[in-house]
C-alpha cells in the first residue's frame, strides 16, 4: 500500500495542475496550431464554413515577409543584449543587498522591486519624458556636460538600446527577489566554515554563493530567455515598433497581425515559428544544465 | 475541405466540448432573418447594450428614459474600455454570443460588417423613421454602409478642423486662418521662422488618415474604375509631396515628443488639425490662452473635405431581440436624445436636425464643426483599409524621415496595397 | 538572521575592508535606487496634480497646485464596492491556485516518475506562445463549458501557470532527499511530507510567489473583461480602464488609478519581506 502511494503520489500532485494547463493552455495551443494552417480571419471566426486549409502557405508567407524577418533580427538583438544584463544586474543587486549589514539595505529590496509593480502607463509616460528629444532629462544631462543630443527613440539601433534599458529596469525587481529568496536558503554554516578557513568576501561569493545559486540562476535564465524572446510591452507602449520597424519585435508583429488586422492564421503561423525558436533555445539550456550537474 | 477544418478544430477542442459547440450553432438558428427576431410586441425583454469607455457610463440615464416610454424593455448597459473593446468583440463573434446593441467606432465597421456580425437595418427604417439615413450627415451614413447593407446607424460624429493661435498668426500677417493649401504652407513657414524651437504646424505622421485626407482634397481617386488601388496616381503623389514639404522645410517637427496642448499653449505649435474633443481639452488645460485661439474649416485645394469619424450604433447579428434593439437605436437617434447626450458627454449629434438647436447654432466653435461636417467623408468602408492605412504610415515614415523619393515610395505602397486587396 | 559575511572571527583588517565594501555598495545602491524610484514618485506626485500641470512644459516634479480631484473623481465614478469585492474574490481563488502550483512543483522536483521530463517540457511549452494567440480558443472552451459570465470562468484560466510551477520545482529540488526519506520512514504520508516538510522549507519562495500571485489577482483585467456580460463582475482594473477616454489621455486620472492600485501591493510586499523572508531561518536544513 505504501509503495503504491509512493508511486502514485507524484501523479496526484501534478494531476490537478496538468488538467487545468491542458484545458486552458495546451488544447488552445493545439487549436492555434490548426488555425495556423488555415486562412482564418474575422469572417472565418464568425462562420467556420468560410475557413479553408491552405497548408503551409502562412508559414511560407511569414518567412518571406521582410517585416517578420526584421522583427526576428530585432528580437535576437533584444535577447542577446538584454538577457545577460538582466541576469547580471539582478544577481549583483541581490548580492549587494544581501551582503549589506545596515538597515538601509532592507529598504533597497522594496526600492528595486518598485519598477516591476509600477503601472505600465505611468512607466511609459515617465520614460517618454526621460527620452524626450527636446525636453528630456537624459538629453538635458548630456547637454549640460557639453555632449550633443542622442536620438533616444528615433534612430533604429539606439531606440532598441533605449527599450532594452527600460526593460532591464523593469525586470530587475522580480529576478532580484527570486535571488534573494534563494540566498536565504544557503546554510549559514557554509559561510562560517569558509570564514574559519580565512576566505574573504569575494572568495565566499564565488566559491559558495554562486554555486549554491545555480538552481536559481538556471530558473532566471530560462524564464528571462522565454520572456525576452516574447519581448512585447516596451515597444508596444513606447514606439509601436517604429522608427521604420526598428523596434518591432516578433510578439508585437503577431499582435498587430492577429488583433489589429484579424489575420489569425498568419499570426498563429508567426507565433509557431517563434515557438519553435523558443523551445529549441530552452531545450539547449536544459541540456547544458544537465551536463553541468545533475541538479534537474 | 472547409468542413474538415470545423471537424478538426472540434476534435481538438475535445469530444466533451462537441455538444457545447453544436448547441451554440443551434441557438443562433432562427434569428438570422431580419424581421422575425423581435418577438411579440409587448413581450418583456432585456436588451444588452455594449458602449465604449466613460461615455457608456452616462448611457444608463438615457436608457431609463427609454424604459419609461417602453416599460416592457429594460436596458442593461455594459461599458467596455476603448483599448480592449476589440478583443471582447472578437470573442463575442467567435461564440456568437454577445450584446443586442453595440456601439461601433466608425473605423471598426468595415471588419465587423464583413464578418456579417452586424444586422442590416434597412427593414427597420420603415417602422422606425428615426433611422432613416436622410436624417443624418451624409458622411456618417456612408460610414455605416457596407455594400448595399445599412449596418450601422449614425450616433455621434466628429470631424477634423484647423485649430490655430489667432495672436501668433496675426504676428506673421494672417488676420484670418489660412484658406488654401498655399496659405497654410506659407503661414507655417513664417511661423517656423520665428526662431529656434518654434514650428508652424503639427502634422502627426502616425495619424493614418491624414495623407488620404490631403490626397482627397487634391482630387485624387483612391481606386481605379476596376477597384484597384491607385495610390501612386500623380494627384496622390502631389499631396504627399505637399505634406512632406512641411517636414523638410522645418515647419512641422518630426519628433517633438510634446503633448499638443502645452505646445499649443506655449506657441511652439501654433496650428494643428484635430477633432472637436480638443475644444474642451484646451479650455480645461490651457485657460491662459482663452481668446487667443480659434478654429477654422480646413484649407482648400480642389476641395476641403475632412475626415469623418465618430460612433454608430448597430444591432448584433446574433441578437434575439432585434426589433427592440432597433427601437432603442431609433430612440438614440432622435435629435432631442442626441442633444441631451451632447450635454453630458460633449459628443456631437449625427442627426442634422439637432444642429438647428441654439446650443449648436450659436456656439462659435461648434459652428465651425457644423460647417466642416458638410464637407466630411469617412475612409472607405472596406476590410483591408485598416491594413492599407497602416502600410501607408510605414511608407510615409520612409518619406519624411529619409526624404525618400515620394513617387517611388508610393509605387511600392501601391504594390503593397494591391497585395493586401487580392 | 541574515549572514554577516565578515564575521566576528575575522581580523581588524577584514572588518575595515568590509566597512569600505559596505559603504561602496551602499552608495552604488543608492544611486541606482534613485533611478529606480524616480518614475514611481513621479507617478504618485502626478496623481495629485491637475491635468494641465501634468502636461506642462517644463514638467514639474513637486505639484505646484495640489489637488485630490483625481482621487475623488475616481471613487465617485467607479462602482467601487462591487469592483473591490470581485477583485478580492479573484485574489482569494488565486491563492488556491498557488497551492496547486506548489504541489505540482513538488511533484516534479522530488519524485522520479515515468514521463516526468516530457511532462515538464510540456508545462514549460505553455509559456512559449503569446497569450493573445490562445485567447479566443480559451474563450470558446469556457463558453462550451457554460462558464461565461461566471466568477469560475474568470478565475479558471489563470489559476495555474508554468512560471510558478517551474519556480517551485527549482527551489524544492534543493530540499535534501534524506530529509524526506527520514520523514517517510517515520510513517508520514506523502501529503504530510509536502505540508510539513516541503512547504515550510520553501517559505522564502512561497513568499515570493505569494506576492506575485497577489499582484496577478489584484490586477486581473483581461478575463474579467472578456468573460463578464455584466458590469457586476468587473474588477478594479477593468473599472479603471473605463475612465480612459477615446481621445483624451487623462494622465492625472490614470496616475491616480495606478497609485491606488499599487499601494496595497507595496504594503503587502513590505510586510512579506519583513515577516517571512527575514524571520526565516534555515535551521531545519542543518
Predicted-complex ipTM score: 0.88
Looking at the DSSP bridge assignments, the partners of residue B293 are B165
pLDDT at B236 over 60: yes
Tell which residue, B208, B369, B404, B216, has the closest CA to residue B295: B369
Residues B215, B232 share a domain: yes
Cβ pair C189:A5 closer than 8 A: yes
Residue A48 lies in a domain: no
Cβ pair B390:A259 closer than 8 A: no
> A126 with C38: CB under 8 angstroms?
yes
Name which of A65-79, B79-93, B400-414 the model is least confident about.
B79-93
**pLDDT at residue C9, rounded to an integer:** 43
Cβ pair B95:C55 closer than 8 A: no
Residues C83, C59 share a domain: no
Name the 3-class secondary structure at B274.
strand
Q: Which of B364-373, C78-87, C260-269 has the highest mean pLDDT?
A: B364-373
Least Cα separation, residue C201 to chain A (angstroms):
9
Residues B199, B130 share a domain: no
Residue A69 and residue A152: Cα distance in Å, rounded?
A: 23
Name the 3-class secondary structure at B375.
coil
Cβ pair B2:A134 closer than 8 A: no
B84 neighbourhood in chain C, CB within 8 Å: 221-222, 225, 241
**pLDDT at residue A59, rounded to an integer:** 95
Residues C45, C16 share a domain: yes
Residues C65, C82 share a domain: no
List, in sequence order, every beta strand (DSSP E) within C11-152: none
My answer on whether omega of the bond before C58 falls inside 30° of 0, hence cis, is yes
Q: Write out pLDDT tens, residues B153-186.
A: 999 999 999 999 999 999 999 999 999 999 999 9
Class of residue A65 by CB neighbours under 10 A (exposed 0-12, middle 13-18, buried 19+): middle
C205 neighbourhood in chain A, CB within 8 Å: 178, 181-182
Residue B355 lies in a domain: yes
B268 neighbourhood in chain C, CB within 8 Å: 57
Residue A200 lies in a domain: yes
Residue C162 lies in a domain: yes
Name the CA dihedral angle for B261, B267, B271, B275, rounded to a multiple of 10 degrees: 10
- State the DSSP H helix or E strand holding residue C205, giving kind and residue range, or none if neither: helix C203-218
* pTM as predicted: 0.87
Half-sphere exposure of A138 (CA within 13 A, CB side): 16
**pLDDT at residue C14, rounded to an integer:** 59
Counting as contact any 3 or more CB pairs under 8 A, the partners of B are A, C
B416 neighbourhood in chain A, CB within 8 Å: none
Region of B247 (left: φ > 0; alpha: ψ -120 to 50; beta: rest) is alpha
Name the 3-class secondary structure at B78.
strand
Residues B293, B400 share a domain: yes
Instruction: Give me the CATH number covering residue B104.
Output: 3.40.190.10
**pLDDT at residue B8, rounded to an integer:** 54
pLDDT at C210 over 60: yes
Q: Write out pLDDT tens, residues A62-80.
A: 999 999 999 999 999 999 9
**pLDDT at residue A187, rounded to an integer:** 81
Cβ pair B397:A244 closer than 8 A: yes
Nearest to B95 among C55, C77, C143 (CB): C143
Name the CA dihedral angle for A218, A220, A226, A230, rounded to a multiple of 10 degrees: -160
Q: Name the residue in chain B with its Cα closest to that of C246.
A: B82
Q: Angle at CA B247, nearest 5°, toward B243 and B249? A: 105
**pLDDT at residue A105, rounded to an integer:** 81
Residues C92, C35 share a domain: no
Q: Write out pLDDT tens, residues B195-234.
A: 888 999 999 888 888 999 999 999 999 999 888 999 999 9
Q: Name the residue in chain C with its Cα closest to that of A89.
A: C32
Cβ pair B91:C135 closer than 8 A: yes
A290 touches chain C (CB under 8 A): no
Q: Name the residue in chain B with its Cα closest to that of A261.
A: B387
Tell which residue, B69, B61, B76, B59, has the closest CA to residue B321: B76
Half-sphere exposure of C141 (CA within 13 A, CB side): 29
Last residue of a domain, one of C23, C46, C69: C69
Average pLDDT, chain C: 84
- State the total domains in chain B: 2
Q: Write out pLDDT tens, residues A140-191.
A: 888 888 888 888 888 889 999 999 999 999 999 999 999 988 888 788 888 8
B96 neighbourhood in chain A, CB within 8 Å: 46
List, in sequence order, every beta strand (DSSP E) within chain A: none
**What is the Rg, in whole angstroms, of the alpha carbon atoms belonging to chain B?**
24
Nearest to A154 among B1, B2, B255 (CB): B255
Residues B325, B246 share a domain: no
Least Cα separation, residue C124 to chain A (angstroms):
9
Region of A241 (left: φ > 0; alpha: ψ -120 to 50; beta: rest) is left
Least Cα separation, residue C59 to chain B (angstroms):
10
Average pLDDT (B95-103) is 91
Cβ pair A133:B397 closer than 8 A: no
- State the total domains in chain C: 2
Residues C157, C18 share a domain: no
CB atoms within 10 A of CB B386: 19
- State the total domains in chain A: 1
- State the DSSP H helix or E strand holding residue B392, giving kind and residue range, or none if neither: helix B385-402
Name the 3-class secondary structure at B83.
coil
pLDDT at B29 over 50: no
**pLDDT at residue B40, rounded to an integer:** 54
A134: domain range? Answer: 58-292
Tell which residue, B243, B388, B314, B292, has the closest CA to residue B100: B314
Residue A51 and residue A218: Cα distance in Å, rounded?
A: 43
**pLDDT at residue B39, rounded to an integer:** 47
Average pLDDT (B270-281) is 92
Residue C208 lies in a domain: yes
B364: domain range? Answer: 36-158+308-377
Average pLDDT (B261-265) is 90
Cβ pair C38:A125 closer than 8 A: no
C36: domain range? Answer: 12-69
Residue A245 and residue A253: Cα distance in Å, rounded?
A: 10
Q: Write out pLDDT tens, residues B306-322.
A: 999 999 999 999 999 99
Residues C92, C17 share a domain: no
Residue B7 lies in a domain: no
Residue B201 and residue B198: Cα distance in Å, rounded?
A: 9
Residues C170, C85 share a domain: yes
Which residues have C-beta within 8 Å of that of residue B364, sequence separation ≥ 6?
A: B294
CA B363 to chain centre: 23
Cβ pair C55:B261 closer than 8 A: yes
Cβ pair A135:B9 closer than 8 A: no
Average pLDDT (A249-267) is 90
Residues C83, C209 share a domain: yes
Tell which residue, B228, B322, B310, B254, has the closest CA to residue B277: B310
Query: DSSP characters for C88-105?
Result: HHHHHHHHHHHHHHHHHH
Residue C286 and residue C274: Cα distance in Å, rounded?
A: 23
pLDDT > 70 fraction of chain B, expressed in percent and rounded: 90
Name which of A107-116, A127-136, B136-145 the model is least confident about.
A127-136
pLDDT band at residue C65 under the 50/70/90 scheme: confident
Residues B45, B177 share a domain: no
Cβ pair A25:C9 closer than 8 A: no
Residues C102, C225 share a domain: yes
Q: How far is CA C274 from CA A183, B258, B422, in A?
A: 15, 42, 62
Instruction: Give me the CATH number covering residue A231.
Output: 1.10.3720.10
Q: Write out pLDDT tens, residues C17-45.
A: 677 888 888 888 888 888 888 888 888 88
Average pLDDT, chain B: 87
Residue C279 lies in a domain: no
Average pLDDT (B120-130) is 92
CA B325 to chain centre: 22
pLDDT at B348 over 70: yes
Residues B201, B288 share a domain: yes
Residue C285 lies in a domain: no
Average pLDDT (B114-127) is 92
pLDDT at C7 over 70: no
Residue B195 lies in a domain: yes
Beta strand pairing call for B145-146 and B149-150: antiparallel
B48 touches chain C (CB under 8 A): yes
pLDDT band at residue C277 under the 50/70/90 scheme: low
pLDDT at B344 over 70: yes
Residues C216, C139 share a domain: yes
Residues C155, C53 share a domain: no
Q: Write out pLDDT tens, residues C121-178.
A: 999 999 998 888 888 899 999 999 999 899 999 999 989 999 999 999 998 988 888 8
Q: Write out pLDDT tens, residues A7-61.
A: 788 888 999 999 999 999 999 999 999 999 999 888 888 888 888 899 899 999 9
B117 neighbourhood in chain A, CB within 8 Å: 42, 46
Residue B35 and residue B41: Cα distance in Å, rounded?
A: 12
**B&C contacts, CB < 8 Å:** 100
pLDDT at B38 over 90: no
Amino acid at each position: 500500500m505504501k509503495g503504491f502511494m509512493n508511486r502514485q503520489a507524484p501523479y496526484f500532485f501534478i494531476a490537478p495542475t496538468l488538467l487545468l494547463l491542458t484545458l486552458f493552455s495546451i488544447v488552445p495551443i493545439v487549436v492555434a496550431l490548426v488555425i495556423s494552417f488555415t486562412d482564418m480571419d474575422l469572417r472565418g471566426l464568425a462562420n467556420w464554413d468560410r475557413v479553408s486549409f491552405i497548408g503551409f502557405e502562412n508559414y511560407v508567407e511569414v518567412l518571406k515577409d521582410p517585416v517578420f524577418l526584421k522583427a526576428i533580427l530585432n528580437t535576437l538583438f533584444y535577447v542577446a543584449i538584454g538577457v545577460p544584463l538582466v541576469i547580471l544586474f539582478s544577481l549583483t543587486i541581490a548580492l549587494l543587498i544581501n551582503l549589506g549589514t545596515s538597515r538601509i539595505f532592507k529598504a533597497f529590496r522594496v526600492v528595486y522591486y518598485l519598477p516591476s509593480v509600477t503601472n505600465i502607463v505611468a512607466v511609459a509616460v515617465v520614460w517618454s519624458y526621460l527620452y524626450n528629444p527636446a525636453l528630456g532629462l537624459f538629453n538635458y544631462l548630456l547637454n549640460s556636460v557639453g555632449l550633443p543630443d542622442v536620438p533616444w527613440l528615433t534612430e533604429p539601433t539606439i531606440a532598441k538600446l533605449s527599450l532594452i534599458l527600460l526593460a532591464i529596469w523593469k525586470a530587475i525587481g522580480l529576478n532580484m527577489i527570486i535571488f534573494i529568496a534563494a540566498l536565504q536558503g544557503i546554510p549559514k554554516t557554509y559561510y562560517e566554515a569558509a570564514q574559519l578557513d580565512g576566505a574573504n568576501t569575494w572568495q565566499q561569493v564565488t566559491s559558495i554563493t554562486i554555486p549554491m545559486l545555480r538552481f536559481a540562476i538556471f530558473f532566471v535564465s530560462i524564464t528571462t530567455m522565454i520572456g525576452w524572446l516574447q519581448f512585447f510591452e516596451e515597444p508596444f507602449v513606447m514606439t509601436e515598433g517604429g522608427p521604420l520597424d526598428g523596434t518591432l519585435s516578433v510578439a508585437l508583429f503577431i499582435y498587430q497581425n492577429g488583433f489589429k488586422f484579424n489575420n489569425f492564421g498568419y499570426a498563429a503561423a508567426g507565433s509557431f515559428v517563434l515557438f519553435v525558436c523558443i523551445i529549441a533555445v530552452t531545450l539547449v539550456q536544459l541540456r547544458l544544465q544537465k551536463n553541468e550537474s545533475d541538479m534537474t | 475541405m472547409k468542413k474538415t477544418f470545423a471537424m478538426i478544430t472540434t476534435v481538438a477542442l475535445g469530444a466533451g466540448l462537441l455538444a457545447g459547440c453544436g448547441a451554440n450553432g443551434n441557438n443562433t438558428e432562427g434569428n438570422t432573418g431580419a424581421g422575425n427576431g423581435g418577438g411579440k410586441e409587448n413581450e418583456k425583454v432585456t436588451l444588452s447594450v455594449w458602449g465604449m469607455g466613460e461615455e457608456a457610463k452616462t448611457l444608463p440615464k438615457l436608457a431609463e428614459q427609454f424604459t419609461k416610454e417602453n416599460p416592457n424593455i429594460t436596458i442593461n448597459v455594459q461599458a467596455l474600455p476603448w483599448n480592449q473593446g476589440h478583443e471582447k468583440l472578437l470573442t463575442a463573434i467567435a461564440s456568437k454570443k454577445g450584446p443586442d446593441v453595440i456601439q461601433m467606432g466608425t473605423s471598426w465597421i468595415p471588419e465587423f460588417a464583413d464578418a456579417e456580425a452586424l444586422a442590416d437595418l434597412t427593414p427597420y427604417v420603415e417602422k422606425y423613421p428615426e433611422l432613416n439615413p436622410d436624417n443624418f450627415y451624409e458622411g456618417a451614413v456612408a460610414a455605416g454602409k457596407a455594400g448595399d447593407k445599412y449596418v450601422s446607424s449614425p450616433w455621434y460624429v466628429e470631424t477634423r478642423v484647423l485649430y490655430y493661435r489667432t495672436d501668433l498668426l496675426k504676428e506673421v500677417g494672417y488676420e484670418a486662418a489660412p484658406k488654401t493649401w498655399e496659405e497654410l504652407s506659407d503661414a507655417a513657414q513664417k511661423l517656423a521662422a520665428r526662431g529656434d524651437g518654434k514650428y508652424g504646424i503639427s502634422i502627426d505622421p502616425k495619424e493614418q488618415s491624414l495623407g488620404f485626407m490631403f490626397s482627397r482634397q487634391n482630387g485624387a481617386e483612391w481606386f481605379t474604375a476596376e477597384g484597384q488601388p491607385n495610390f501612386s496616381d500623380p494627384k496622390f503623389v502631389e499631396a504627399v509631396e505637399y505634406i512632406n514639404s512641411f517636414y523638410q522645410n522645418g515647419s512641422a517637427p518630426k519628433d517633438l515628443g510634446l503633448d499638443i496642448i502645452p505646445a499649443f499653449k506655449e506657441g511652439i505649435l501654433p496650428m494643428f488639425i484635430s477633432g472637436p474633443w480638443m475644444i474642451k481639452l484646451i479650455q480645461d488645460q490651457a485657460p491662459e490662452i482663452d481668446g487667443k485661439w480659434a478654429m477654422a474649416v480646413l484649407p482648400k485645394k480642389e476641395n476641403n473635405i475632412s475626415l469623418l469619424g465618430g460612433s454608430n450604433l448597430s444591432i448584433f447579428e446574433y441578437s434575439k431581440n432585434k426589433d427592440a434593439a432597433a427601437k432603442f437605436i431609433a430612440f438614440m437617434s432622435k435629435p432631442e436624445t442626441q442633444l441631451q447626450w451632447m450635454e453630458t458627454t460633449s459628443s456631437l449629434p449625427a442627426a442634422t436636425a439637432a444642429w438647428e438647436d441654439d446650443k449648436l447654432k450659436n456656439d462659435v466653435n461648434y459652428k465651425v464643426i457644423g460647417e466642416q461636417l458638410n464637407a466630411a467623408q469617412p475612409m472607405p468602408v472596406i476590410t483591408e483599409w485598416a491594413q492599407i492605412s497602416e502600410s501607408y504610415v510605414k511608407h510615409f515614415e520612409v518619406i519624411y524621415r529619409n526624404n525618400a523619393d515620394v513617387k517611388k515610395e508610393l509605387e511600392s505602397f501601391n504594390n503593397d496595397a494591391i497585395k493586401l486587396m487580392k | 538572521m541574515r549572514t554577516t559575511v565578515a564575521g566576528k572571527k575575522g581580523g581588524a583588517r577584514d572588518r575595515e575592508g568590509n566597512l569600505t565594501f559596505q559603504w561602496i555598495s551602499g552608495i552604488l545602491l543608492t544611486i541606482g535606487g534613485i533611478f529606480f524610484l524616480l518614475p514611481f514618485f513621479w507617478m504618485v506626485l502626478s496623481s495629485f496634480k491637475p491635468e494641465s500641470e501634468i502636461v506642462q512644459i517644463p514638467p514639474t516634479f513637486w505639484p505646484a497646485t495640489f489637488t485630490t480631484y483625481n482621487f475623488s473623481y475616481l471613487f465617485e465614478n467607479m462602482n467601487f464596492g462591487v469592483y473591490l469585492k470581485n477583485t478580492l474574490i479573484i485574489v482569494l481563488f488565486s491563492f488556491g491556485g498557488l497551492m496547486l502550483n506548489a504541489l505540482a512543483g513538488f511533484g516534479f522536483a522530488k519524485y522520479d516518475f515515468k514521463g516526468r521530463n516530457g511532462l515538464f517540457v510540456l508545462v514549460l511549452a505553455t509559456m512559449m506562445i503569446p497569450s493573445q494567440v490562445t485567447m479566443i480558443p480559451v474563450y470558446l472552451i469556457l463558453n462550451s463549458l457554460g462558464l461565461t459570465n461566471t466568477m469560475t470562468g474568470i478565475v479558471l484560466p489563470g489559476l495555474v501557470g508554468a512560471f510558478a510551477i517551474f519556480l517551485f520545482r527549482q527551489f524544492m529540488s534543493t530540499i535534501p532527499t534524506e530529509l524526506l526519506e527520514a520523514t517517510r520512514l517515520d510513517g508520514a504520508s506523502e501529503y504530510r511530507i509536502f505540508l510539513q516538510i516541503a512547504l515550510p522549507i520553501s517559505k522564502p519562495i512561497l513568499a515570493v510567489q505569494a506576492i506575485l500571485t497577489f499582484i496577478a489577482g489584484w490586477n486581473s483585467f483581461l478575463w474579467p473583461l472578456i468573460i463578464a456580460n455584466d458590469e457586476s463582475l468587473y474588477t478594479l482594473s477593468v473599472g479603471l480602464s473605463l475612465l480612459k477616454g477615446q481621445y483624451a489621455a487623462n494622465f492625472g486620472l490614470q496616475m491616480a488609478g495606478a497609485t491606488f492600485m499599487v499601494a496595497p501591493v507595496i504594503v503587502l510586499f513590505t510586510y512579506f519581506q519583513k515577516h517571512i523572508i527575514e524571520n526565516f531561518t534555515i535551521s531545519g536544513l542543518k
